A and B are shown apart, each in its own frame.
Chain A
Amino acid sequence: MKVINSIFIFSIALILTIIFFEALLSFCGMMIPIIKIDSNVGERYIPNKMCCSISVSEGFGLAKTNSEGWFGKKFVDNGLSDISIAVIGNSYVSSRQVFYRDNFLSISEELTNKNLNKTIASYFNFGRQAMPLTELLFIKEEISSIHNPDYILILLNAHSFNTTSRQVPYYKLMGDSLVLDSTFKESPMLRTYRKLQIFSNSSVFFLGYRVKNKLPQLWKILFDKFYPSEEEPEQNNDPIFSLSDVNKVILEKLESDKKVIFLLDLDYDVSNKVKTITTQSQIIDLRPTLLKMKTEQGIDPNYWAIEKLPGHWNIPAHKVIGEEIANNMIKIINNNQITRHNEGFMP
């Protein structure tokens, strides 16, 4: 009886410590889970949540999700006189490494509106980490059908062509046509998630999840310098980027939508391949701007000096990207307004 009593008291103390850690981790903003899995649309950000990304990214980012589970302001159609620009893409769009005010979309919006007459342009962030093109098309179709924005900016970089590893619906090729794969709905991961859904907001659970993801590096972390260094695979200095058939078809499909404007990142091969396929689309190529920043200012757009790590775009990169997008969008919007006016289109 005494042993059972001791075990009981020991467990109570353990649980109290876990509760204490839960409060500590969430109040100090260190471990805040922000992903939920929706039965229909898969992984999304939890709506109306203030997200601090200091322990999960190379920068220090603060941003709040809106009621639809995207960062930044909620999509609002302010009528025909206003311009809505939806920006879709992976973690480079959601940009959890910087404060939302320093995100390239906030900068673009401010600059665009400074230079536009009468109309107000609003940029809406539809970025989410690890969103490959196969999933991006699904998100794009969802946004087009629900919100019907005036322009859709699609960011593409090397990561956009990875295969999906997430619990999301995605497009695959069957024969010559694209088919939506929603098998995630029956995945064991989703079943486990449903069982443990009550803990989906728990910081301690999130900590456990991050520990689980780091387990492959267990021996390296434990033995540090004594861990035999792995031979680095021979690096190919000029990796040839190849586009899969499904991605090619998706790009062609996106190109057919005249609202779509492609945003191309630094990756030379990716930009070239995309340009050869999407010859009819409008493209904002960020590469020259980012290279200029690198050569003229000596700032690597992907280097984080504080953490001494390469990663997503840093704050100076967001600034120049925001300016570049704003300059391009002002031209595009003005051109379209003139064209519409010449064609006798009156909003």
Chain B
Amino acid sequence: MAFNSFIFFIFLGLVIPVFYAFSKKSSKNLFLVFASYVFYGYWDWRFCSLLAFSTIVDFFLGKLMHSAINDKKRRIIFIISLFSDLGILGFFKYFNFFIDSFQSLSAQFGVNIDFLHTCIIIPIGISFYTFKNISYTIEVYQKKIPAANNLVDYALFVSFFPVMVAGPIERASNLLPQLSKKLIPSSSQIKEGIALIAMGLFRKVMIGDTAGRYVDHIFGDLETYKSIEVISGLVLFSVQIYADFSGYSHIARGTAKLFGVEIMRNFEQPYFSRNIAEFWKRWHISLSSWFMNYLFLPIAYSISRKLTKLRYFSIKADYLVYSLAVMATFLLCGLWHGAAWTFVIWGGMHGVYLVLYKLFSKKSNIPFKKIQFPNIKTIFNILTTNILVLFTWLFFRCTSWHSIRLFFSKIIYWEDSEYALWFIKTTATFVILVFITDLIEYTTGRHDFILSIKSKPFRYGLLTGLFMLTLLFMFQSKISPFLYLKF
């Protein structure tokens, strides 16, 4: 069930009191596993079997790996576990993509392999829980954490409903220790949880979904729209994807807090980034750090071991290692987002940006310090980064090459619109709204910034109004699924 549906709030209203009524840690966790499977099975009960299968396989392989005497045996078990996780992900998410790609290639040589195309339903959230399983397996293999002893705790780590279908992709080292203790939410966690849910829902429903309606219509029929209108569509998409996903992450964190679980922050005002490297430290943090730890660093390490010289073609070996590892990581990051070449290009563009940034940047480590406002250089850097990112969103949003070509032709062969002012005003409203909310988040350092208001009645008045009006808006409009659910 989606966070932005009434049935989710009814579900939450039933689960919370029952969870609080249990006194034992084991019963609390078992009940949460049950609730999580109900939450997941609401989409399609068949998905639950796959979730249970990958949970059981990784749990027992993790235990075997932990108790293995020699490194060779551990390595074999590790590979089996990875193969199982990636095999499931690859089959359900990428099988048809590769078949279709080979099909178009083999058709050039007159070979037809269309019979291999099968009807596969992609289970919701499969990329997210598979990545969680993989992170566990790697950390156990690297002996960073011990293997989970309790199947229920591990099943809850994989299936904990607030973060199961669209992240944040929690690391076992953070979540498992919390779940192995008795979950008792503090009063401040409950307050923060409610505030985060209200503010996340506002972001998702009032900003993300409303901007998304324009985006869907514009990108659904690009031919009909004029130049300024398609540009507005792209800007609105950048607002939509951010509001949608950060709203989701707020609700996920808020819901987890109601059960006494602390989840990592997934977004830190990414559109305030001064360069592309900083953007990836602020955008989808749980995913970018996952790729950093489990893909970029191992790739960089394995390449650097093979390079013996200091320079290759007058390029420093360090830079070469960085560039190759970044490109590989971001191409895979693109593919993770969706089984389509447009996503691969999106990832590739970010990879190129980072490689170029590294080349021209003087600092090797980009400090995550406070941004200086107002400062012309900072504003210029932020604007440049946003334009570069905006350009990549085009490849993320367009579902076909035809749409991408059409978009560019709309820009090149400029057509005036009689509604230009209306589009500018509407787009500016969304951009300003996101800017203001992010600015407040940034200055207060809190995602639940309403709680930083000192007057209690004022604070609760704002939260009540925000929550009630968002629910009213939700009631009369069509529910839009979260964008990242399909990834």
Q: Which residues of A contact B (CB under 8 A)?
A: 5-14, 16-18, 21, 24, 27-30, 50, 52, 54-55, 59-60, 62, 99, 101-102, 204, 207-208, 210-211, 213-214, 221-226, 305-307, 315
Instruction: Give me 6 other A-B pairs in contact (C-beta within 8 A), A10-B464, A211-B472 excluded.
Output: A14-B464, A17-B464, A54-B214, A99-B419, A315-B221, A315-B224
Q: A204-B469, A306-B220 are in contact. Are A7 and B422 (CB under 8 A)?
A: no
The 7 A-B pairs at the shortest CB distance, nearest first, are namely A13-B461, A17-B465, A60-B217, A306-B220, A10-B461, A9-B457, A6-B457
CA of A40 to CA of B214, assembled, Å: 37
B4-15 vs A: 1/0 string, CB under 8 Å?
A: 011100100000
Q: How far is the CA of A54 from the CA of B213 in the complex (A)?
A: 7
Of A9, A101, A207, which is within 8 A of B473 by CB?
A207
A58 to B299, CA, bound (A): 49
In the complex the two chains form, what is the Cα distance from A5 to B458 in whole Å?
11
Separation in Å of the B46 CB from the closest CB of chain A? Answer: 15
What residues of B have a CB within 8 angstroms of the CB of A101 in the complex? 418
How many angstroms from the CA of A12 to the CA of B465 in the assembled complex? Answer: 10
- Which of A9, A54, A210, A305 is close to B458, meaning CB atoms less than 8 Å apart? A9
- Neighbouring B residues of A211 by C-beta, 8 Å: 472, 475-476
Whole-angstrom distance between the Cβ of B431 and the nearest chain A Cβ = 11
22 A/B residue pairs, CB under 8 Å, sorted by A: A10-B458, A10-B464, A13-B457, A13-B464, A14-B465, A16-B461, A17-B462, A17-B465, A21-B465, A28-B210, A28-B430, A52-B422, A54-B213, A60-B217, A99-B224, A207-B472, A207-B476, A222-B7, A222-B10, A224-B1, A225-B42, A306-B221
B127 → chain A, closest Cβ, in Å?
A: 24
Q: How far is the CA of A50 from the CA of B475 in the complex (A)?
A: 25
Q: Is B455 an interface residue (CB 8 A)?
A: yes
Instruction: Name the distance in Å between B121's Cβ and chain A's nearest Cβ.
Output: 17
Shortest Cβ distance from B463 into chain A, in angstroms?
8
Which residues in window 430-487 of B have CB below 8 A to A?
A: 430, 433, 455-462, 464-466, 469, 472-473, 475-478
Within the complex, the shortest CB–CB distance from A310 to chain B, in Å, comes to 15
Q: Known A10-B457, A16-B465; judge A223-B210 contact (CB<8 A).
A: no
Which residues of A have CB within 8 Å of B476? 207, 210-211, 213-214
Provide the bound-state CA to CA distance between A195 and B76, in Å. 78
CA distance A18 to B465 in the complex (A): 7
Contacts of A221 in B (CB 8 A): 6, 475
CB of A13 within 8 A of CB of B462, answer yes
B454 to chain A, nearest CB (A): 11
A224/B419 contact (C-beta < 8 A), A27-B425, A60-B214, A211-B472 known:
no
CA distance A304 to B433 in the complex (A): 30
Question: Which residues of chain A come closer than 8 Å to B5, judged between CB atoms?
Answer: 224
Residues of A within 8 A of B1 (CB): 224
| Chain A hits for B430, CB < 8 A | 28
A60 touches B213 (CB 8 A): yes
Separation of A335 and B469 alpha carbons in the complex (Å): 59
Main secondary structure of the interface of A (DSSP, over half): helix
CB closest chain-B residue, reference A27:
B429
Say whether B422 contacts A62, CB under 8 Å: yes
Q: Report chain A residues within 8 Å CB of B197.
A: none
For the complex, is B426 an interface residue (Cβ under 8 Å from A)?
Answer: yes
User: Measured between alpha carbons, how far is A208 from B476 in the docked complex, in Å?
Assistant: 9
Q: CB-CB < 8 A to B461: which residues of A?
A: 9-14, 16-17
- The reply to whether the CB of B114 lies closer than 8 angstroms to some CB of chain A is no
Q: How far is the CA of A281 from the CA of B7 in the complex (A)?
A: 55
Chain B nearest CB from A57 CB (Å) reads 11
Residues of the B chain whose Cβ atoms lie less than 8 Å from the Cβ of A9 = 455, 457-458, 461
In contact, B224 and A102 (Cβ under 8 angstroms)? yes
- Residues of B contacting A: mostly: helix
Contact of B214 with A16 in the complex, beta carbons under 8 Å: no
Number of residues in B with C-beta < 8 Å to the partner?
A: 43
Closest chain B residue, CB of each to CB of A222: B6
Q: A21-B469, A211-B475, A306-B220 are in contact. Are A29 and B422 (CB under 8 A)?
A: yes
Structural contact, B213 and A55, CB atoms closer than 8 A: yes
A251 to B5, CA, bound (A): 47
| A17: B residues at CB distance < 8 A | 461-462, 464-466, 469
A291 to B376, CA, bound (A): 60
A3 CB, min distance to chain B CBs, angstroms: 10
- Cβ–Cβ contact A224 & B465, under 8 A: no
In whole Å, how far is A81's beta carbon from the nearest beta carbon of chain B? 27
Please report the C-alpha to C-alpha distance between residue A225 and residue B433 in the assembled complex, in whole angstroms: 34
Instruction: With A24-B206, A214-B475 as known contacts, state yes or no: A18 contacts B7, CB within 8 Å.
Output: no
> Chain B residue with minimal CB distance to A7?
B457
Hey, which chain A residues are within 8 Å of B42, CB to CB?
A: 225
A113 to B358, CA, bound (A): 60
Q: Are A306 and B472 in contact (CB under 8 A)?
A: no
Query: A208 and B472 in contact (CB under 8 A), knowing A7-B457, A12-B458, A54-B213?
Result: yes
Q: Contacts of A55 on B, CB cut-off 8 Å?
A: 210, 213, 477
Residue in B1, B422, B460, B475 whose Cβ sees the most chain A Cβ within 10 Å: B475
Indicate if the CB atoms of A223 and B7 lie closer than 8 Å.
yes
Cβ of B216 < 8 Å from any Cβ of A? yes
- State A207–B127 Cα separation when bound (angstroms): 37
B residues less than 8 Å from A315 (CB atoms): 221, 224
A237 vs B444: C-alpha distance in the bound complex, in angstroms?
63
Chain A residue at minimal CB-CB distance from B450: A13
Q: Which residues of A contact B472 (CB under 8 A)?
A: 207-208, 211
- Taking the closest CB of chain A, its distance from the CB of B112, in whole angstroms, is 25
User: A29 contacts B477, CB within 8 Å?
Assistant: no
Residues of chain A lying within 8 A (CB to CB) of residue B477: 55
Complex Cα spacing A14 to B216, Å: 32
Chain B residues with CB below 8 A from A29, complex form: 422, 426
In this complex, what residue of A is CB-closest to B465? A17
Question: Once bound together, how far apart are the Cα atoms of A45 and B262, in whole Å?
Answer: 52
Query: Which A residues touch B433, using CB under 8 A?
Result: 24
Contact A30:B10 (CB < 8 A) given known A13-B458, A17-B461, A54-B217: no
Complex Cα gap A59–B216 (Å): 10
Would you give the shortest CB distance from B464 to chain A, in whole angstroms? 6
A210 CA / B220 CA spacing, docked (Å): 26
A59-B419 Cα distance, complex, nearest whole Å:
16
Known: A11-B461, A17-B465, A214-B476. A306 touches B10 (CB 8 A): no
